[in-house]
């Protein structure tokens, strides 16, 4: 285990909100400056001084944003993995006393760090002395206020919600206090609550059926690799080897996290969160220099999500996503393969998307592709980038095909791999209709159903900027426009909106 250093320090959701001059970015900056001033006023700072403080904060954050990577730049796993000694780090950022910093973190003999964005720390080196000590104090006070606002008294909570909730996401009403506190508790003691959750909703038979589907999806991915017509045998062998070493976690950890040393008392909610933060930091710091614990989970069982972790080459499916509408142990195979099967195929495909393919079977960054196969992969991926770049999500805001490429590859691959696995089921082979729908139609309906959503315009605009996933609507439309099996199932003819022309159809996995 090694520590990572990454860029941070800005209060807006994306660094480009500081650097772009489009109307939305300007509006966000103006609202943010007023929000910062309002928070300082609540902190008993005079209105005039509060407005000065807000300008100081914006000035510093603008400088930090200017030397930061964009989200797109941060998608490159090679460029964001820079192993350095502390001396190397001091060479690019020596104005900051890294040795004292790490010692105060409890890391006395640290020799190696992984730096995600060297240009940020080089830029920080220039910024440190260009900003006065007094201004740094104002900036740090703001960070404390910003981080604590949601758990302070009602005026702070309301002001924070007015900006981050109402303005940025279009929310009309704040969640009730009990939900907000439950969310905080879940963040601190997720696996403790997870033990209760698993007992309530995840019986052993649900896990067994999910395990069978995962096995069938891994086998289907293997067939996809073997049968694809664009990859050389040499690269196929490497891909199959990587697939054969995939770790799989389903439902909940075999070993639960130990919370014995976490002190919970009745002296206040904020105090408990402070202690939890310190406890968590110490646990993380204690891992440095030790072997990786592969039993650990990156999500709690009650999280409705799943993930592929490239450095461990593993796919993980918490119990909460193995519930309707993603997975229903009482539903037919078509619906489950169209929903949960695609989710599983999606995560498997991440091992071979534009980022995951740069990691080997052991989770190390390593180029195991021939140059010719690498070029073919990029050409196919570019067609997917072009397709999603053409989608208008709202007003003049389009999907960013480059930012969402990995997830779009995951969706497209997941659909292909899951449908091929579904073909091996008795339901598909018997071809009997249910509710007047064929098995293939029910598969695609199951897929579309899990992405039904209501979303406010403000939230959609924000996600287009910061989310590596395409909007839900295009997670359905985009991949299906490339699937001949979908065309056949619903008689989608050439020229129809839901069918790409033959020359634009994309198939990677």
Q: Which residues are catalytic?
A: 347, 411
Is the Cβ–Cβ distance between 262 and 153 less than 8 Å? no
CB-side exposure of 501: number of CA atoms within 13 Å?
A: 4
d(CA 120, CA 100): 20
Is the Cβ–Cβ distance between 388 and 408 less than 8 Å? yes
Return the closest-CA partner of residue 184 out of 156, 161, 142, 151.
151
DSSP per-residue string spanning 296-345: --SS-TT-S--EEETTTTEEEEEGGGSSTTT--TTS-HHHHIIIIIHHHH
Is the Cβ–Cβ distance between 147 and 37 less than 8 Å? no
The H helix count followed by the E strand count for the chain is 23, 8
* Strands across the sheet containing 82-85: 4-5, 112-115, 82-85
Place of tokens 């619903």: 490
d(CA 21, CA 409): 31
169 CB-near residues (< 8 Å, 6+ apart):
456, 458, 459, 462
């Amino acid at each position: 285990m090694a520590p990572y250093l990454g860029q941070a320090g800005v209060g807006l959701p994306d660094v480009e909100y500081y650097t772009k001059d489009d109307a939305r970015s300007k509006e966000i900056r103006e609202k943010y400056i007023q929000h910062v001033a309002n928070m300082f006023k609540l902190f008993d700072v005079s209105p005039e001084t509060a407005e000065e403080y807000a300008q100081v904060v914006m000035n510093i954050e603008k400088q930090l944003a200017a030397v930061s990577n964009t989200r797109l730049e941060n998608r490159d796993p090679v460029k964001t993995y820079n192993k350095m000694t502390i001396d190397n780090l001091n060479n690019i950022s020596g104005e900051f006393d890294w040795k004292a910093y790490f010692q105060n973190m409890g890391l006395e003999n640290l020799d190696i760090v992984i730096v995600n964005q060297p240009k940020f720390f080089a830029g920080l080196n220039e910024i440190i002395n260009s900003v006065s000590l007094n201004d740094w104090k104002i900036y740090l006070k703001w960070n404390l206020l910003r981080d604590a606002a949601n758990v302070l008294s009602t005026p702070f909570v309301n002001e924070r919600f007015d900006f981050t909730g109402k303005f940025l996401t279009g929310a009309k009403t704040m969640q009730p206090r009990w939900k907000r506190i439950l969310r905080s508790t879940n963040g601190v003691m997720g696996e403790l609550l997870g033990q209760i959750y698993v007992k309530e909703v995840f019986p052993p038979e649900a896990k067994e059926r999910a395990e069978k589907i995962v096995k069938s999806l891994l086998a289907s991915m293997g067939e996809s690799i073997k049968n694809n017509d664009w990859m050389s045998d040499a690269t196929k062998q490497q891909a199959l080897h990587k697939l054969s070493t995939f770790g799989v976690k389903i439902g909940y950890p075999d070993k639960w996290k130990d919370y014995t040393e976490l002190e919970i008392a009745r002296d206040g909610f904020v105090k408990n969160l402070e202690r939890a933060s310190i406890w968590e930091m110490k646990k993380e710091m204690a891992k440095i220099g030790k072997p990786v614990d592969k039993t650990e989970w990156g999500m709690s069982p009650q999280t409705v999500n799943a993930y592929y972790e490239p450095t461990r080459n593993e796919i993980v499916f918490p119990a909460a996503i193995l519930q309707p509408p993603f997975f229903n142990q009482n539903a037919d195979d078509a619906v489950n393969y169209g929903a949960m099967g695609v989710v599983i195929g999606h995560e498997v495909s991440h091992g071979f998307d534009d980022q995951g393919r740069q990691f080997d079977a052991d989770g190390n960054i390593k180029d195991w592709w021939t140059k010719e196969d690498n070029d073919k992969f990029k050409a196919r991926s570019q067609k997917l980038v072009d397709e999603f770049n053409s989608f208008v999500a709202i007003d003049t805001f389009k999907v960013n095909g480059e930012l969402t490429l990995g997830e779009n590859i995951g969706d497209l691959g997941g659909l292909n791999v899951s449908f091929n696995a579904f073909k091996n089921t008795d339901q598909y082979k018997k071809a009997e209709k249910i509710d007047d729908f064929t098995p293939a139609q029910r598969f695609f309906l199951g897929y579309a159903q899990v992405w039904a959503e209501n979303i406010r315009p403000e939230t959609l605009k924000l996600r287009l900027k910061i989310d590596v996933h395409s909007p839900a609507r295009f997670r359905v439309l985009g991949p299906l426009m490339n699937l001949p099996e979908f065309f056949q199932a619903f008689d989608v003819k050439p020229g129809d909106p839901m069918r790409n022309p033959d020359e634009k159809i994309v198939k990677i996995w």
